[in-house]
Amino acid sequence: MPAIGQEQAVAFLIDSTCEVFETMILRSLTQGVPIEGDALRPRSNVVATVSFAGAESGIVAFYSTKDAACEIAGALLGMNPAAVYGDMPDAIGEVTNMIAGALRTKMTDAGSPCAMSIPTVTVGSDFYTKYVSDVRRVLCPFKMGEQEVFVELIRQKR
């Protein structure tokens, strides 16, 4: 079965991200231009990933600053962003899970079924993530009000 084309896969990811933010977080996102490759790394303190495997394999990654992550978590949990810090990682993990889940549904409907892992969330500073397999990466930037968030699709090359 042929893999989904890169352009279509990225469109699926962008649609999934906007859908999650509009329905669950009640925030509209302004989409930026997707960036192919791994030269540009977003400035972030929170990184969440969900892996998928099946007809193809890869990772969906979500990046944000702590402030943006707390704003997102506050909207999800009905709390003041300043009070969510302990709950923020779980909330961001769930956001990434929902984005990846919506992507999975779209990929499955397009003929590329896959299963997903549970989310992993990393919070900190001065770190980078590296993927050992030969992968193709596309980073999708979004503006959420004054904040920036990024979602990345990492697909294992066939």
Partner 1 sequence: MRRIIINTLNKLGFTDVVEASNGREGLDRLAANPVDLIITDWNMPEMTGIEFIRSLRGNEKLPQVPVLMITSNAAKDDIVEALRAGVTNYVVKPFTSDTMREKIESVLAG
Residues forming the site for partner 1 (CB under 8 A): 19-20, 23-24, 76-78, 87, 90-91, 94, 97-98, 100-102, 104-105, 108, 113, 116, 118
Minimal distance in Å, beta carbon 43 to partner 1? 26
Contact of 123 with 45, CB cutoff 8 Å: yes
What's the CA gap between 12 and 4, in Å, rounded? Answer: 10
Minimal distance in Å, beta carbon 111 to partner 1? 12
What's the CA gap between 14 and 34, in Å, rounded? Answer: 9
Residue 31 vs 133, nearer CB to partner 1: 31
Contact of 73 with 94, CB cutoff 8 Å: no
Quick one: tokens of 143? 């503006």
Residue 57 vs 129, nearer CB to partner 1: 57
What's the CA gap between 34 and 9, in Å, rounded? Answer: 12
Residue 23 vs 28, nearer CB to partner 1: 23
Minimal distance in Å, beta carbon 153 to partner 1? 17
Residue 71 vs 94, nearer CB to partner 1: 94
What's the CA gap between 17 and 128, in Å, rounded? Answer: 22
Minimal distance in Å, beta carbon 106 to partner 1? 9
